[in-house]
Amino acid sequence: MSDTYFIDLQAIPTGCVAKIVAGGLLPKNEMRWEFTNEIKPLDLYCYLYAKYGEPNGLLNLARKDDSDNLIHWEWTLANSDGLISIMGMNFRTEVLLAGDFQGKGLDLEMFINQIKGDIGKYGKKITAFRTELEKWTQFINPYERIRRAVTENFNQLDALGINPASDKIVHPKTAEDMKGFNERWIALNARYSAAVGLVFGLRSMLPVLAESFINLLIFALAKPEIKANDRLFQSIVRQPIDIRIQSLHLNCNGFNGLIDYAAQECKAFHTLMNERNDLLHGNVEVGKLSIGDIYFRGNLPLFIQYDDFWSVSIGASMRSVGYDSIHQDHKAVEDFIEFVMGQLDKDVVEHVRRIIETGELGFNKKTGRLGILIPEAIADFRVYTTSDSPDTTE
C-alpha cells in the first residue's frame, strides 16, 4: 500500500457526494475508525482546511450554527476505492471509509502517520488560518459550583429527616427506660452529628454563594477600561464585600443606579456574612456559643435548672450551628441575589441569568468577552457497522 494513500485524496463538491450516496454507487461495506488526541482536533481541522478548503461533507448541512451539535465538522474525500469521511465530534474524531477498502491492509495507524507527515507541508497556510480563530479559555463558574454544592447539602440534610421535637429521647429515669437506650442514643447521635456537619458546611457556604455571585457580576459586567487594567480590576474584587456591592454601578455596565445597602435584603446578607466569619475563624463569641449558666460555691456547682442528655449534647450542637434558621438563611441569600438582579437594566438581566446558571463558561482574554462555549449536556453516539472484517473498528 502506498505511503501517500491517505494524502493523495481529492475533495469533491458536496452535491457530488450527495449524488453518490443517494444513487447507491458505493459498495455497502464500511470501515470505521476513531481516535482522540493522536492528532489533536484543532490541528487536524486546520490541516484539512488548509489542504482542502471548507468542510464539504453532507453532515455539515445538518449542523446548527452553534456549538451544540453531535458532529461539528466533516470532510468527505475520495479516491478510486470510494469515499473517506473525517468527522470531528465532541469526544473523538471518526473516520468512515465507504467503498472497496477492506482487505487492503489499511489501518488507523497508517492513516494517522501519513496525515502527521503531511501536516508540515501546509505550515504557512495553517499558521495564517489560525490567526482567524478566536481563542477562548473555558473555566468553571465558581458561583454555579457553590450553588450546586449548597443544593446537594440541603438535599442530604433533608434526607436525614431531622425533627428535634419528635426525635428527642426522654432522659431515662427507670430500669425500663434504660432498655435499649444506649443503642437508640448512638443511632440518633450519628444522624444528628451528620446534620450538624451539613449545617456547619451550609452556614459557611451560603455567604460565599452570595459573594461569588457579586464577583461573577463584576467579572461579567465590568467596564472595558477596568477589564483592560488587571491591577485596577484586582483592586476592585479585593475590596470589602459591602464596598463591592455599593460600587457595582460605578464599576460595571448595566446597573440602574446605586444599590441601597440599607435595604432589608442587604442587611440580612451582611448579618450572614458576619456570622459566617465567627464560625469559620472559630471566634469565641460567648453570647452566641452559650448553652447555659452555672453558679459555683468554690468547686461546688449550683445548677440554675436541671438539663438532660439531649439538651447538653445534641440539642446544644444543633443550636450552636443554627439548624432552626438554616433554610431561612438560604432564602435570605436568594432574596439578596434577586434584589441585586432587580437593579440591572432589563436588557442585561436575561444575559446575566444565563451566565450565572451555566456551570462552565468561556473567556476571551483578547476581547474581554465572557460567553457560554459548550452546552452542559454534551451528547455522544456511535453508529455500529455490520461488517465482521478485522479491519473494522467499532
Q: Are residues 341 and 225 in the same domain?
A: yes
| Residue at 286 is within a domain | no
Does one domain contain both 185 and 249? yes
97 found inside a domain: yes
**Domain's final residue, options 92, 110, 130:** 130
Residue 317 and residue 193 in one domain: yes
Q: Where are the alpha helices (DSSP H) in the chain?
A: 14-22, 41-52, 108-119, 123-130, 142-159, 164-167, 175-178, 181-221, 224-227, 230-237, 241-246, 248-251, 264-280, 286-289, 309-312, 314-320, 326-341, 346-356
Note whether 378 and 90 are within 8 A (CB): yes
Full DSSP string of 130-199:
HTTSPP-EEEE-HHHHHHHHHHHHHHHHHHTT--HHHHPPPPP-SHHHHTTHHHHHHHHHHHHHHHHHHH
Q: What is the pLDDT of residue 173?
A: 64
Cell numbers at 375, concatenated: 452546552
In a domain, 365, yes or no: yes
The pLDDT score that the predictor gives to residue 10 is 95
Domain range for 73 is 10-130
266 and 341: one domain?
yes
173 with 125, same domain? no
| 242 and 359 assigned to the same domain | yes
Distance CA 105, CA 94 (A): 19
β-strand partners of 364: 369
Of 80, 107, 130, the residue that ends a domain is 130
Specify if 99 maps to a domain. yes
Give the span between the Cα atoms of 6 and 39, in whole angstroms: 14
- Total domains in the chain come to 2
Classify residue 389: in a domain, yes or no: no
**Is 249 a member of any domain?**
yes
Residue 157: all three cell numbers together: 440534610
In this structure, which amino acid lies at residue 35? F
C-alpha cell at 383: 453508529
- Rounded to a whole number of angstroms, the distance between the first and last alpha carbons of the chain is 23
Residue 254 backbone class (left: φ over 0; alpha: ψ -120 to 50; beta: rest): left
pLDDT of residue 17: 85
User: Could you tell me if 102 and 147 lie in one domain?
Assistant: no
Q: Are residues 218 and 315 in the same domain?
A: yes
Cα angle 227-231-237, degrees, rounded to a multiple of 5: 70
Q: Are 202 and 154 in contact (CB under 8 A)?
A: yes
* Whole-angstrom distance, CA of residue 340 vs CA of residue 209: 14
**339 in any annotated domain:** yes
Instruction: Examine the domain organization and report whether 335 and 356 are in the same domain.
Output: yes
How many other CB atoms sit within 10 Å of the CB of residue 20? 18
CB atoms within 10 A of CB 366: 9
pLDDT for 333 equals 96
pLDDT for position 386: 44
Q: In terms of domains, do 120 and 162 share one?
A: no
Question: Residue 22: its pLDDT value, please?
Answer: 81
C-alpha cell of residue 135? 481563542
pLDDT of residue 393: 38
Asked if 40 and 119 sit in the same domain, the reply is yes
Residue type, 85: S
Residues of the chain with confidence (pLDDT) below 50? 284, 385-394
Same domain, 157 and 238: yes
Tell me whether residue 290 is in a domain.
no
CA gap 230, 276 in Å, rounded: 29
- Which of 130, 157, 190 terminates a domain? The answer is 130
